[in-house]
Every structure is written in structure tokens, then in C-alpha cells.
Amino acid sequence: MAEPYVTLTPLGGLGEIGMNCMALETADSMVLVDCGLMFPDDYLLGVDVVIPCLDFIIERKEKLKGIVLTHGHEDHIGALPWLMQRVNVPLYSSEFTLALIRRKLEEHGLAETTTFCPVKGRDTVELGDFTFHFFRVCHSIIEGFGLGIETPIGKIVHTGDFKIDRNPMDGHATDLDAFRDFSQDGVTLMCSDSTNVEREGFALTEREIKASLNNIVQRAPGRILVTLFSSHIQRIQEIFDLAEKFGKKVAVSGKSIASNIEIAKELGHLHFSQKNYCELEDLPGLQDSETVLILTGSQGEPLSALSRLSRGEHRQLNVHQGDTVIMSSRFIPGNTKAITKVINDLYRLGAEVLYKKVQAIHASGHAHKEELRIMFNTVHPKFFIPIHGEYRHLLMHTKLARECGVAPERTIIREDGQPVTFFKDSIRLEETIKAESLLVDGKGVGDVGQTVIKERQILGGEGLVIVVLVVDPNDRGIVLGPQILSKGFIFEQHLSHILEDAKEIVLDVYENIDPRDTKKLKERIRSSLRRFFKKILGRDPIVVPLVIDISQDDK
């Protein structure tokens, strides 16, 4: 009988923050934990989202028993539409997370063919060779889970994204007792959230945030405009509670927030009365001091409600002198410039803007160092693999693991595409597999690679020059052209002489090349013009020669 084993294959989330996706595999079974996306960096021009390489999963789909989702953030569920086109297995998560996923899959026509299996805290689900235990965790979204996994080689704990709120509100707490009970007879491996390992102490509690918001709402002279992550239902509930306390009405602007409020209210996670709520159309009949607005746009997204408002382009709203804008979310790296532009524009229009750097109005959903230490002291794992972080986060988390008693040789840093296999008495680091992320651009998945991105960068930085030349090689004549079109390269009214000189270069090339060899003619035109533009202007645009041989049309 073969020795039992479990192979963990990280496909995303180890080496970057986002795109979380990990496969657990035995000889007969495979389960996927999370399937998230990542939003593109600025240099990925035109790319909509970035998703994990799904080939590894699709090649083993006969073994795949199910997909377990720890919570409903995009970096944990966002890639499901692309995977569910190729596999048909049940999805396991909380009722709220599955409601978010269902709405996402409906947009892709996949909801009717997908099986949704809701679970609650401390539920147990058997999936092939694995038994999953679901433990409630506190995070910046409701109904998140950590996982206790029974496997053929021992127990594994996957913390999911979590924090330990020392003074939780409304039952939004991490169930440390469940983690402790599961770990009593030993845990072989723990995988834990590394996002905030650099931050000392404890994260702010939600109770502290609500107290700060209370003071702001109480003092604000005019309207209050709040922007936050649309999935932060607990924070949205706090806004409704404070509005009711101070006799104000809440209106909402933004598709994602309105959708999530609707889902949360239907499932009983959000409570407010109709007298506490109003439509945007009703706002003109209210005093500014009676109004609270919840808007999308916490990351400065150009088409969001807050961004349009800051530019004076919102169809139904404009900024009033004396408005107080509360940006109750963190600045995601890469978005800072867009966010600060929105802040500056709001100030120009007469608003007062409060954000995390100047006011305690947001608490991270990820554990700080002392909270991570508490998790180590609760689980006492034999082995440790840090997850959900850039390389420096993973490295610092392994150092913390050693401080908490994990043997140095049992703290293992792995990155995307680097599997590790656990046996009952040993481990094996496997060879790296293909795990390059896929770029999604419109309906195309993976068809945009580094070559296309490089061309887009050149187009964005240097521009495009198109040369049109219609020839008849039978009499060595030029029927039309050369015509030169410039897009994003030069302002033709000021530098038209440059294009005239370029035409002369094309004519010189034509005189010295057999016009029947259109391939060579194109290459010589391209290289000659690039040298010319580089010498005269110091620019290197993309040059596209279109040489049309009309003699071929007569055959």
C-alpha cells in the first residue's frame, strides 16, 4: 500500500497580496481553497484583472471534489467565473459569501449549473480524503472562515484572512476556542495570513472605529459622505446605526454597495428601517444636516460615485460647502495617486475630507503581530507555511513562527507554483510548476502576454506611425503614397516637416529594394524610419508599414 501524502500547491497569494488560490491533493482527491483575482498594476495597460493559472486545476478536474471559499473578497472568489466554465464541482462557504458568488456567476451565465453548499461556523464537510471544519473569524467582511482540515497525514489549519478583535461587536469574533479544540491532539501544519506581520501590537477594534465615527457624525455641520469597501457590511451597519441615532437619513450611490446592501438585508445581516433610508431623488427635500450618503469610490476608481462627484460629473449629486467626506478604508498600494487626486478635488469644492492618516476611521481586517502570535499559541503547529503576502511578509512571518516555538527547519517559505508534499513523518519540496498568472482583457484570457504589454507601453510612451504605400511592381511604379499617419507621436501642425522628411526616406528605400519583395521592403522602411525618428527627435515609436501590391490582385 502506497504511503499516504498531501501535496499543497499554491497557485496564487504566496509572493503577492491578492489572487489567493491553493490546491490540496492526495492520490485520489483534490480540493481547492479559494480562487481569487488581483487587480492589475499600472504597467499592465488595458488589462481588466489578473487571475491564477488554472491549467493545474483543469488537468486534475476528475479528482476535484469541491472548492472551499474562506470569505467573499474579490482576492478570494474573483476568479471563479473563469474556473467554473471548465469545471463543475460544488462550492462551500457561508451563506453571504455564496450569495456574492451567485451574483457574480449570474453575470457569466454560470449560476444555474453551479451547486452552492452553505455552511455555518463549526460545521464539518467531507470532501474525498479531506474533512473540513469551518471556524468563524473576524475580518473586514462578514461570515469569513478559518479552516481545520483533517487529512491522511494529520491536521492542517488554514487561518483564512483574520484578526482577533479584543472587544468584538455583534458576535463578529474569531472563534479561538474552535481553533484550540481542533488543535488539541496536534496540528501537522498551519498556513496563516501574513498581510500585517510588519505591524506591531494589535489592530484597531471595530468598537474604536465606531466611537470615532460617532464623534465625527455628531460634530459634522452639513452632509456626511462615507466611502468604504462595498463588502464591509459591519461598517455599513454602523453608519445606519449612527444615522438613526442622530436623526439622519441614509442614501446610497454606487452599484456594488447597493447590491451588497440588498444581499445583506435579505439574509438578515443588515438591519435598518425605511424611515432611516431614502432614495437619491429624495435628497433635495432634506436639510444637509439630515443627510448621510454612502458611496463607492474608496480607491479613487475613475467611474465610481465619489470620483464622479469630485469632478462635478455625478448626474444626481454635487459637493456642498461644508460637506464632511469620510474615507473609511485603507489605501491599497497602487491606488494612492488616484485617491489623493479625489481628496484634493473634494477640498477644492469645499468639503472636509477625513481619511485614515488623519483620523481613526478604519481598522484593518488582518491580524497584527500580537494577534498572529496568539494564533501560534492557540494552534501550536509542527510545521508552518506563511500565506497571503509578498516575500518580505512571508519571511517576517517565519521569523515570528520561530519566536513562537516552531523549529527553524519546519518553517517553510513557498511561492506560487512551488508545491510541498507532506507525509506522516517527512516532507518533500517538489519541483516548481507553471503558475504564471493570466491577464484578462475583455473576453480574452491569457492571450495578452508580455509582448503585447510591451507594445502597449511603447504606444503609450512613444506613439504609432503608419506608412501606407500602394505599389505596382510590374512597372516599378508607386500608385499611392507614401502616406504617413501619426497617432500619439507628434503634433503634426507643428512638426509636419518631420513627416515630409520621413516620406523622402520611404521613397529612397523603395528605389533601392525590389518592390516585389514586400517583406524586405516593409522591414527596411520600419528600420530606416525608426533610426530617423530616434536621431531627430529621440523617440522610438512603433512603425507599421502597409505595403499593398496591386499586381497581386490582378492574378
Given the residues 193, 323, 416, 441, the one annotated as active site: 193
Contact 21, 13 (CB under 8 A): yes
Q: Nearest CA to 29 among 55, 54, 60?
A: 60
Angle at 194 between CA 196 and CA 156, to 5 degrees: 145
Cα 138 to the chain's mean position, in Å?
20
CA distance linking residue 3 with residue 5, whole number of Å:
6
Cis peptide before 482 (omega within 30 of 0): yes
Please say if 193 is a catalytic residue: yes
DSSP assignment of 298-323, as one string? TT--TTSHHHHHHTT--SS--PPTT-
Helix (H, G, I), strand (E, B) or coil at 262: helix
Number of residues that make up the chain: 555
Please say if 362 is a catalytic residue: no
C-alpha cell at 490: 507628434
C-alpha cell at 71: 470569505
Contact 198, 343 (CB under 8 A): no
Q: Which residues contact 107 (CB under 8 A, 6 or more apart)?
A: 81
Looking only at the bridges linking them, the beta strands covering 49-51 and 438-441 are: antiparallel
Q: Nearest CA to 51 among 447, 448, 445?
A: 445
Given the residues 133, 139, 366, 397, the one annotated as active site: 366
Q: Which residues are catalytic?
A: 193, 366
